[in-house]
Amino acid sequence: MKIDREAKTLDLDPHDPDFLADPYPAWRIIRETAPVVFWKQYGFWCLFEYGTISAALRDPRLGRSLTHLATREELGWDPVPDAVKPFYAVDDLTLLEQEGASHTRLRRLMNRAFVTSQIAALVPRLTGIVNDLIDKFPEHAPFDLITAFATPVPLRIITGMLGVPDESGPQLLEWSHRMVRMYHFGRTTEDEALAVAATRDFSDFIREFLTLRATGSREGLIGRLLNARDDGEQITDDELVANCILLLNAGHEATVHALGNGVSAILDSGIPPETLFASEKAVTKTVEECLRFDTPLQLFTRYALEDLDISGIHLKRGEKIGLLLGAGSHDPAIAPRPDLFSPGQATRHLTFGGGIHFCLGAPLARLEMQIALPLLFRRCPELRLETPPVRADSFHFRGVESLMVRKT
C-alpha cells in the first residue's frame, strides 16, 4: 500500500491477500494519513472517517443514480456494453438504484414486508430453523459452519418471506452468487456472462411465480405486492421482478457474511459466550458489535448529482465517490478501541448505511442474528475453530468463505 499525502492518492490492490485477510490495519493507516484519498485502482475519491461518511450518506447532492436527471450521453459516460445490458435492465429497476419519486414509491411498497409486526412474527419460524440446523451438526467431527448454518438461516427466511418453496433455495442462492460478482473489483467477462445468465433465469423464475400468484394464493411478499397493485399502487411487472431479486440477493448475502464474521469474531475474542448472551441487553450489544467489528458491506458508492465540494474535494456531476463503511465503523471517534471486539464500546456504526438508502432489511438482519447467535452458543457451548477461517477473495463484500468448527 502506498499513500501520497500531498497528492491525496492511494495505491492499494483490493485483491492483495494480506489486505483481504484483514483490511482494518490499512483503514487505520489511511484514516490517520489521508482520510480523503483518490483510490487509483477504483478511479474515484473515497472517504474513511465516520463523520464524513455519515454526512455523505445523508447528503441530498449525492445519489445512487443519475438517470432521473440526465442520460449517459449527457454525462459523458460510455454506453452500457451490449453483453451486460440484460443485467443492468433488471438492476437499474431496484429500489437501491432509484432516486426521487421512484425511490419513495418503491420503498413505501417494499416496506410492507418489514413492518415491526411482520418481523416480530418471524421469531417462531426463525427459532425453528436455527434449532433444526443445529440438530444436524455432527457430534464429533469438524464441519463448515457457513454451509451448515450461516447460509441456510437467512436463505430459508427470505424464501419464506417471498412466498417461494424452500426447495428452490439452493438454485436461487446460485443465481444470487453469480449476480453479485458484478459488484466485485476486477470482474471478468466470464463473471459477466454468468451474471447475465443468472439474471435471466432468476427473472423467469420470479415471473412464473407472478403468474401463479396473480390467479391463486396471494401468500408472501410477491402476493402482497400484487394485492397492492390491484389496490391502485403503481408498480410494474419488471419492477416486481427486479425488487424480489434484490430482496433475496441483499436479504441473504449480507446476513450470511454477518453471521460468519460474527461467529469468527466471538470465537477469536476469547470472551465466554455465556457472558456475551447473558441477557437481552447483552445480546443486543453483542450483535451490534459483531456488525460494527467486521462489516459485511465494506464499500458503498454514490454519484454527484450536481457539481459540489465535499470533504475538501471537488466533484463534478456524474463523478463517483466511495464510502468505506468498514473503515468508518472502526473510527476511534465512535469506538475507543476499534480493533478490539468489545460489546458496548460503540453505540453507532455504518453497517446498514444511512439516509434514504438506509438498509430496508436492517430489522430482519438484526433479528436473525439476535436469535441465531445466542441459540448457537447456548446449544454448542464448546464450539471451537478447527482451522483458521478462509476469507473470500472479495473486499467489497467481506465474508468468511469457510469456517471449519467442531461442536465438542
**Vertex 306, ends 305 and 309: CA angle to 5°?**
115
What's the pTM?
0.93
The Cβ of residue 295 has, within 10 Å, a number of other Cβ atoms equal to 27
Q: Can you give the pLDDT at residue 218?
A: 62
Strands of 236-372, DSSP E? 299-304, 308-310, 313-315, 320-324
Which residue do the cell numbers 443465481 mark? 175
Provide the b/e sequence for 226-254 (b: ≥16 CB within 10 Å).
Answer: bebbeeeeebeeebbbbbbbbbbbbbbbb
Q: Can you give the pLDDT at residue 142?
A: 97
> Each residue's pLDDT tens digit in the chain (408 positions)?
999 999 999 999 999 999 999 999 999 999 999 999 999 999 999 999 999 999 999 999 999 988 888 888 888 889 999 999 999 999 999 999 999 889 998 998 888 778 888 888 899 999 999 999 999 999 989 999 999 999 999 999 988 888 788 888 889 989 998 998 898 888 999 999 999 999 999 999 988 888 876 666 666 677 777 777 766 678 888 998 998 899 888 878 889 999 999 999 999 999 999 999 999 999 999 999 999 999 999 999 999 999 999 999 999 999 999 999 999 999 999 999 999 999 999 999 999 999 999 998 899 999 999 999 999 999 999 999 999 999 988 888 999 999 999 997
CA torsion 101-104-109-114 (nearest 10°) is 170
C-alpha cell at position 139: 457430534
Q: Can you give the pLDDT at residue 3?
A: 97
Q: Which residues on adjacent β-strands are paired with residue 349?
A: none
- Amino acid letter, residue 44: F
Name the helix (H) or strand (E) containing 110. helix 100-110
Q: How many Cα atoms within 13 Å fall on the side-chain side of residue 101?
A: 4
Per DSSP, the three-state class of 234 is coil
- Amino acid letter, residue 226: L
Which residue do the cell numbers 436455527 mark? 130
Alpha-carbon Rg of the chain, whole angstroms?
21
The Cβ of residue 301 has, within 10 Å, a number of other Cβ atoms equal to 15
All structural domains of the chain, each given as residue ranges with its CATH number in brackets, are: 2-406 (1.10.630.10)
DSSP assigned state of 334 = T
CA torsion 304-305-307-312 (nearest 10°) is -40
Q: Can you give the pLDDT at residue 72?
A: 87
Sign of the Cα pseudo-torsion (48, 52, 55, 56, in order): negative
Q: Can you give the pLDDT at residue 209?
A: 80
Q: Can you give the pLDDT at residue 394?
A: 86
